[in-house]
Amino acid sequence: MEDLLRPIYQERASQSSTLGILILEKNKPISPVTDNFDVILFIIVRDAEELWYVKHYEFENKSAAMHIVDETLLHHWIDTSSYRRAVEWVINGSIIFERNEYVTLMKEHLREFPQKNRNLKKAIEFAKLIRSYSESKDLYDSEQYLDSYSRMVSSLHYLARLSIIEKGFHPEVTVWNQVKRIEPEIYKLYQELIESGEPTEKRIQLMILAVEHSISKRARSSAQHLLELMNDREEPWSFGELKVHPEIQEYILDLSSMIEYLVEHGAIEVIPQETKGPQIFHRTYKPVEQPDHL
């Protein structure tokens, strides 16, 4: 198939802005990784006018999708897991062209999964997990059991991705296949939720307890990205200061619920600051060095 696509990618390979070209073929009838195309042609470029350009082809009853992506956008996808398919294309794709071992070095970087990148990804998934779990619990208390069930399924997905990152791997599109191999305890929770013969209300009740325990035991390590950033200065932080910090933007929408959870569980303390109003204080936040129960 590479030979058939050569006329398409050869022109790109000759351009100085092209850093690497990978190819990934569909290996089963239904393939989420390739968006069900028979082949993905993934081209990494520098200084592109359009950060992400996509074109679809058809040939000999086959289909192909060509993605041309600027390296800055690709690195953003890798750092934040915001487009996991692209990460899989880099990890599993075959190199058909690269400039100065660009793709080889990128693959090696992904395999090493540096701690800094891992901490950011853990914070992103942890923040989503806290938000989703809190919503599920609130819906359960309101006796909205089907909505609570739906949010609990999402919570387990976030927990699954978090556990994979903890083990030093990048979450794949088919995340539960990974979890079954890497973290069978969480896979078992997922099975119990979706396959148990218990009434929906009872299943959610059991999951609330199990997920709360899983969150609690990994809270401090999952929030390490935020806690280290807050420890960069002696003064406590207002929420407004944290909200505009450039390193937190990838989980800014879930930051409030994440901070509240860490306050409730003793990883962050509230430092009241006086205002002009009597008995009204600004809330500022400071990490607690070593909470006993996290």
Q: Which two tokens stand for residue 20?
A: 């690497």
Domain tally, the chain: 2
Domain shared by 99 and 134, yes or no: no
| Boundary-marking domain end, from 77, 112, 147 | 112
Closest C-alpha to 38, from 76, 5, 74: 5
User: Distance (Å, rounded) from C-alpha 122 to C-alpha 263?
Assistant: 18
CB 189 within 8 A of CB 156: yes
Residue 117: pLDDT above 60? yes
- 237-293 pLDDT tens trace: 999 999 999 999 999 999 999 999 999 999 999 999 988 878 889 999 999 986 454
Domain shared by 29 and 41, yes or no: yes
Mean pLDDT on 126-139: 97
Residues 6+ apart with CB under 8 A from 267: 219, 220, 223, 227, 287, 288, 291, 294
Residues 6+ apart with CB under 8 A from 144: none
Domain shared by 102 and 146, yes or no: no
Query: Highest mean pLDDT range out of 60-69, 80-89, 146-155, 163-172?
Result: 146-155
Domain shared by 145 and 39, yes or no: no
Mean pLDDT on 11-22: 93
| Boundary-marking domain end, from 93, 112, 131 | 112
Residue 1: predicted pLDDT:
66
User: Distance (Å, rounded) from C-alpha 87 to C-alpha 79?
Assistant: 10
Domain shared by 194 and 268, yes or no: yes
| Boundary-marking domain end, from 58, 88, 112 | 112
For every residue of 188-208, DSSP letters joined together read HHHHHHHH--S-HHHHHHHHH
Mean pLDDT on 227-239: 96
Q: Does the model's pTM come out above 0.75? A: yes
Give the residue numbers spanning the domain of 195.
115-287
Domain shared by 220 and 150, yes or no: yes
Domain assignment present for 138: yes
- Positions of E strands within the chain: 18-25, 39-45, 52-59, 62-70, 94-98, 237-238, 268-274, 281-287
Domain shared by 34 and 178, yes or no: no
Q: Give percent of the chain with pLDDT exceeding 90.
A: 77
Residue 291: predicted pLDDT:
44
Domain shared by 35 and 124, yes or no: no
Domain shared by 7 and 103, yes or no: yes
Q: Three-class SS of residue 174? A: coil
Q: Where does the pLDDT of residue 11 fall: very low under 50, low under 70, confident under 90, or very high at 90 and above?
A: confident
CATH number assigned to the domain comprising residue 161: 1.20.120.330
Closest C-alpha to 159, from 216, 199, 200: 216
User: Which residues share a beta bridge with 270?
Assistant: 285
